Homo-oligomer: A and B are copies of this chain.
């Protein structure tokens, strides 16, 4: 099933941007009268009929709309420190979107080697991943923030807040992420994953004071991006 993506759907008219229009008309050779399926990135799938088949700007008439198309029964926000190698982060984002993800925040920790992060590439990757995995919602990518600011920003709210680190805080032993998720009755989950150098003690302590539950991801020693995807899979299986 071929999906198009448009952020310009209004008053029963759907417009594709230049890239999508070119793909629609030049590559897939769609013409006026053809039916196409378009996601708005916010969770709705639109079935449309092409009225203008210009490769520069396709216009289509909305025939029907399906909300929550390809959605999952929970809301997962992954706050993950950028990896030294950017491909690994992009790989995580693509796979997480396929499995089930709603929001990504790149967080910069005290031990983060990589302190700058461009979100534009990631947004493109997530649009393709959502189309590829038949989801009408494209995960939101937030601008990078420091770990401490992220903890402060999530102080309010009903979400289950988890932080995964590799050391042991005596007063707050880490729990198995699977068990913590099994106990959770709500639908909103936030998981913080640290950089290659792990979270700092100060970051961990601030998180615990702010209501984050310290978790581990099992016995295996996982890279940042693998740990992040494993947490995404844990949430997915919990709601399977």
Check if B237 sits within 8 Å of A233, measured CB to CB: yes
A222: which of B72, B133, B219 is its contact (CB, 8 Å)?
B133
A residues 95-145 with Cβ under 8 Å of B? 95, 98-100, 132-135
- What chain B residues lie within 8 Å of A132 (beta carbons)? 221, 223
B240 near A98 with CB under 8 A, answer no
A221 B95 Cβ-Cβ under 8 A: no
A100 CB contacts on chain B under 8 angstroms? 220
State the CA gap A204–B223 with chains docked (Å): 35
A150 at interface, CB cutoff 8 A? no
Q: Does A218 interact with chain B (Cβ within 8 Å)?
A: yes
What chain B residues lie within 8 Å of A178 (beta carbons)? 237, 240
Does A222 lie within 8 Å of B176, measured CB to CB? no
**17 contacting pairs across A/B (C-beta < 8 A):** A70-B221, A72-B220, A98-B226, A99-B220, A99-B222, A99-B226, A99-B230, A132-B221, A133-B220, A134-B221, A218-B237, A218-B240, A219-B240, A230-B236, A233-B234, A233-B237, A237-B237
Chain A interface residues toward B at CB < 8 A: 70, 72, 91, 95, 98-100, 132-135, 176, 178, 218-223, 226, 229-230, 233-234, 236-237, 240
